[in-house]
Structure 1
């Protein structure tokens, strides 16, 4: 049970609040872990009079992905040092769809993530990735409410 755990991260302390729980589960169950970062930056969408330097845009994206890979690799290295098998996936597109699709593609037995605990107007305006995943996922979801500030 729970041989492969998918953990979506966005680089925030809020999202990282799930990591101690996943580490504990993985150690006890011998699970492998997939750390997922979704690059939700949309493709170039320009207004009528806008001009963008495509090379600068692509360079900025390359730097962001490189920084993200280093961030995730540090977690993977730590876990491998305590015999937890872990790997990295970088997705692109709509966050909820990417999480759900990656869970299916990787045959994850469990998706583990945090809820940012947004309520009221903030949730209505920004939406909730956790709620979106909960509504679309076809496998167990471990959801921890994060108490970290923005």
Structure 2
């Protein structure tokens, strides 16, 4: 039923609340789990006639990328030990768009993620990954609310 499960994560304990659910589903269906995390970059637009040394930005971006890769590798090893087929995916687009693109490209059968449960003004201000995916996805979506 669920041959591939996409699990978008942000590195937080709240996001990882989905992992026990994914583990059970993967064992039940013999699914491959795709752990995904986005390397977010700060977009910088210099002012008119401004000279900018971008080496600091490049170093910070490289640090973030390495951190993301290390995080995904630790998850990969944990799930390998449990006998669950998995692989990491690092994305570089906006989070919601990365999830949508990866789901389509990888032909996943399920997207599983935890929602932080924001509502009202906080949701409007910060946006909601779960809401953004829910409103645009064309396949099953498992959302759990993390505390």
TM-score interval (norm. to shorter)? over 0.9
Q: Deviation string for 1:23-65 (max 9, x for gaps)?
A: 1111111000001111232443234576542111111111111
Q: Deviation string for 1:58-105 (max 9, x for gaps)?
A: 111111111111111111001111110111111112111110010000
Instruction: Provide the aligned C-alpha RMSD in A.
Output: 1.4
Matches for 1:115-126 after TM superposition, within 5 Å: 115-126=115-126
Aligned residues: 147
Matches for 1:54-133 after TM superposition, within 5 Å: 54-133=54-133
Contact kept in structure 2, 1:15 and 1:146, CA below 8 Å: yes
Q: Distance in 2 between matches of 1:78 and 1:42?
A: 31
1:37 alignment counterpart: 37
2:26 alignment counterpart: 26
TM (norm. structure 1) is 0.92
Q: Per the alignment, in what secondary structure is the counterpart of residue 84 of structure 1? A: coil
Q: Distance in 1 between matches of 2:50 and 2:101?
A: 33
Structure 1: stretches of 5+ with no match in the other structure: none
Q: Per the alignment, in what secondary structure is the counterpart of residue 17 of structure 1? A: helix
Structure 2: stretches of 5+ with no match in the other structure: none
TM (norm. structure 2) is 0.94
More moved, 109-118 vs 33-42: 33-42
1:142 alignment counterpart: 142
